[in-house]
Structure 1
Amino acid sequence: MKHLIKHVTRYRYPAPVNYSIQTLRLTPRRDDHQHALRWQIQTPGEIQPQVDAYGNVTHTLTLHRTHSEIEIHAVGQVDIHPLAQGHVGDEDERLPVYIYGVPTALTQCDDTVREFCRRVVPRGVHAPQDVLTLAGAIRERVVYQPGLASAPMTAPETLAARRGGSHDQTHLLLACVRAFGTPGRFVSGYWHEAGDDAASHGWADVWLAGHGWVSVDVSHATFASDGHCRLAVARDYESASPVRWLHGVAATLSMNVSVQVQASH
Structure 2
Amino acid sequence: MQLMINHRTHYLYTDIVNYTIQQLRLTPRDGFGQRVRRWEIRVNGHLQQHDDAHGNAAHLLVLDTPHEEINILATGEVETGLDIPPAHDPLPREVYLRATALTEMDVTLRKFAEQFRTGLMNERVLDDMMHAIVERVPYNRGATVVDTTAAEAFRSGHGVCQDHAHIFIACCRYLGIPARYVSGYLFTDDGTLLESHAWADAWLAAGWVSFDVSNRCRTNGVHVRLATGLDYRDACPVSGMRVGGGLETMTVGVRVSQLQSQQ
Per-residue CA distance 1:76-130 (angstroms, 9 max, x = gap): 00011168xxxx85794411111111111100111111001123x1415444422
Return the match for 1:103 from 91, 96, 99: 99
Aligned 1:58-73 pairs, distance under 5 A: 58-73=58-73
Classify 1:135/1:260 alpha carbon distance in 2 versus 1 (closer, same or farther; 3 Å).
same
1:112 aligns with 2:112: no
Q: Is the 8 A contact 1:91 1:212 kept in 2?
A: no
Residue 133 of structure 2 aligns with which residue?
A: 138
Match 2:170 to one of 156, 168, 175? 175
Q: Give the counterpart letter for 1:239 in structure 2.
A: D
Please state if 1:236 is matched with 2:231.
yes
Tell me, in whole angstroms, the C-alpha distance in 2 between the residues paired with 1:66 and 1:255. Answer: 18
Are the aligned partners of 1:90 and 1:212 in contact in 2 as well (CA < 8 Å)? no
Question: 2:124 is matched with which residue?
Answer: 129
What is the CA–CA distance in structure 2 between the aligned matches of 1:37 and 1:131, rounded to whole Å? 33
1:146: how far off?
4.7
Displacement of 1:195 in angstroms is 2.4
Tell me which residue corresponds to 1:23: 23
Q: Which runs of 5+ in 1 are unaligned?
A: none
Count of aligned pairs:
259
- Equivalent in 214, 217, 237 of residue 219 of structure 1: 214
Structure 2 gaps of 5+ residues are: none
In structure 2, give the amino acid aligned to 1:206.
A
The DSSP-based 3-state class of the residue aligned with 2:21 is strand
**Residue in 1 that maps onto 2:90:** 94
- Tell me, yes or no, if the aligned pair for 1:125 and 1:177 is still in contact at 8 Å: no
Instruction: Describe the SS at the equivalent of 1:55.
Output: coil
**2 CA distance for matches of 1:49 and 1:36?**
17
2 CA distance for matches of 1:169 and 1:49? 30
Q: Identity over aligned residues, as a percent?
A: 38
Question: CA RMSD, aligned part only?
Answer: 2.2
Contact kept? 2:16, 2:244, Cα under 8 Å = no
- Report the CA distance between 1:182 and its aligned residue: 0.6
Give the drift of 1:44.
Answer: 0.5
What is aligned with 2:2?
2
Structure 1 position 189 matched with structure 2 position 181: no
Partners in 1 of 2:7 and 2:143 — Cα distance? 17
Letter paired with 1:117: A
Cα 1:211/1:147, change in 2 over 3 Å: farther
Matched, 1:205 2:201: yes
| Mapped contact 2:54–2:89 kept (Cα < 8 A) | no
- Partner of 1:157, secondary structure, is helix
Match of 1:36 in 2: 36
Distance 1:29 1:251 in 2: 36
Paired letter, 2:236: S
1:50-61 map, 5 Å? 50-61=50-61
User: Cα distance 1:47–1:125, how it changes in 2: closer, same or farther (>3 A)?
Assistant: farther
Q: 1:142 to 1:195 in 2, by over 3 A?
A: same
8 Å Cα contact 1:139/1:169 also seen in 2: yes
Number of the residue aligned with 1:253: 248
* AA of the residue aligned to 2:213: V
